[in-house]
Amino acid sequence: MKEVNWKDLAMPLAIIPYVFFGIYLFENGLNLVAGMLGFVLLCIAIGVAVMVRG
Amino acid sequence: MKQMFYLLIFLISTIATSACVDLTDGSLITQSILLCSNTYDIPNGIFIKTSNIELDCNTAILRGVNGQGTGIRVEDADNVTLRNCHILTFDQGLLFKNVTNSLVEDNGFLKNRIGIRLLESYENTIRENNDKSHQLAVSAVSSKFNIVMLGNKNIDRAFCEVNACNRLRDMQVCESGDFYCSRRCSPASDSDCGTVENETGAMEEFAQTPIATALVSKEVQSSASVSQNTQIPPSKKRTIPLPIKIIIYVVAYAIGLVIVKKK
């Protein structure tokens, strides 16, 4: 039986905040909270992209 | 590098469009604004005298002092939208004077003497507002064809004869002899809109005619043979049901899982 790597299961959870942001944006439109959340998520995305590319 | 540029553009546009405005006491609102979600002590309230604007309080609290003054005073305007405001401790929370075709929704009126007051106002929609006023939730004088539906209580007052209270109903807006000409009426359907021969001149003359205060005693015939149906502007709030949200999350996780597995 193949061993389950917990990282493989945990990594996709990173997408959850972005889905939450999308739903929040759809429901409430652009406002201060959405702007701040979008900014934070964008910073994280850029940081991860830079780290991966190395 | 190009991707970074696009990301930067997105970031700037996001921040720019999410800006909110702080309120000052006695200010006159002349354009659509989104308030910052704070508590504002404004004993003199705020004023709106401009048509076709929207005030979104973004759940801000507008607070008076000792039950004096008016929270939001809208005067001589058409198509004004007020939403997401919490108006506390005024003599009158919201005053509409000579206002038509406007929308008041998702607001809270607390500890005011009168929550909402309508004077010579027509065809406004007041819905999904919660009220806990000392004396009256809604007062209407010389006002007709308004739709008044509070979220937390029913209204049973004399003005409900000429306005729609608690539920929608058809109202004969094009009623001759009431000194009011709706924009949905023509001289052919409402004699208050002037004569067919001289429509423009009659409308100008009507605009200068004071609205009779005896209008409130007139009853609107709510028969099935009405020519015009009352229309409520659609609500701006969009919601996704919880099961759909859960499905979205699960699908997103599954997509992430597939991507991770492939790598």
pLDDT in tens, B228-260: 444 455 555 678 889 999 999 999 999 988 888
B113 CB-near residues (< 8 Å, 6+ apart): B67, B90, B91, B92, B133, B134, B135, B136
Q: Do B15 and A35 touch (CB under 8 A)?
A: yes
Residue B119 has pLDDT above 60, yes or no: yes
Q: What is the pLDDT of residues B11-65, one digit of tens each?
A: 555 554 557 888 888 888 998 888 888 899 999 999 999 999 999 998 999 999 8
- Tell me which of B235, B253, B258 to substitute to probe the interface with A (most A C-beta atoms closer than 10 Å): B253
Q: Do B249 and A32 touch (CB under 8 A)?
A: no
Q: In the structure encoding, which two tokens stand for residue B227, read together?
A: 């020519």
Average pLDDT rounded to a whole number, residues B62-91: 91
Q: What is the pLDDT of residues B205-218, one digit of tens each?
A: 444 445 444 444 44
Query: How would residue B181 be classed by pLDDT, with cut points 50, 70 and 90?
Result: confident
Tracing tokens 């919601």 back to the chain, one arrives at B239
Q: What is the 3-state secondary structure (H, E, C) of B179-230?
A: CCCCCCCCCCCCHHHCCCCCHHHHHHHHHCCCCCHHHHHCCCCCCCCCCCCC
B236 CB-near residues (< 8 Å, 6+ apart): A29, B83
Task: Judge contact between B38 and B60, C-beta under 8 A.
Answer: yes
Q: What is the pLDDT along chain A (54 residues), one digit of tens a residue?
A: 566 677 788 888 888 999 999 999 988 888 888 899 999 999 998 988 888 776
Q: In the structure encoding, which two tokens stand for residue B6, read together?
A: 């696009």
Q: Residue B48 is inside which H or E element, if any?
A: strand B46-48
Amino acid at B130: N
- Nearest by Cα to B176 from B195, B160, B191: B191
Comparing B9 with A13, which gets the higher pLDDT?
A13
Comparing B168 with B204, which gets the higher pLDDT?
B168
Question: Given CB atoms, is B160 within the 8 Å cutoff of chain A?
Answer: no
Residue B182 has pLDDT above 50, yes or no: yes
CA-CA distance, B40 to B64, in Å (whole number)?
9
Residue B225 has pLDDT above 50, yes or no: no
CA-CA distance, B32 to B48, in Å (whole number)?
10
Residue B219 has pLDDT above 80, yes or no: no
- Chain B, 34-53: which have a CB under 8 Å from a chain A CB? 34, 36-37
- The ipTM value here is 0.85
Q: What is the pLDDT of residues B162-175, one digit of tens each?
A: 888 888 877 888 88
Query: Would residue B156 be called left, alpha or beta, if left means φ above 0 and alpha means ψ between -120 and 50 degrees?
Result: beta
CA-CA distance, B263 to B258, in Å (whole number)?
9
Flag the least confident range among B121-125, B181-185, B219-223. B219-223
Tracing tokens 């043979």 back to the chain, one arrives at B225
Query: How would residue B9 be classed by pLDDT, with cut points 50, 70 and 90?
Result: low
Amino acid at A20: F
Q: Do B18 and A26 touch (CB under 8 A)?
A: no
Provide the H-helix boundaries in B107-184. Answer: none
CA-CA distance, B256 to B250, in Å (whole number)?
10
Chain B residues inside the 8 Å CB shell of A46 = 4, 7
Q: What pTM value is reported for the model?
A: 0.59
Q: How far is A40 from chain B (nearest CA, A)?
A: 10
Residue B220 has pLDDT above 90, yes or no: no
Number of H helices, E strands in chain A: 3, 0
- State the pLDDT at residue B235: 54
Query: How would residue B82 be classed by pLDDT, with cut points 50, 70 and 90?
Result: very high
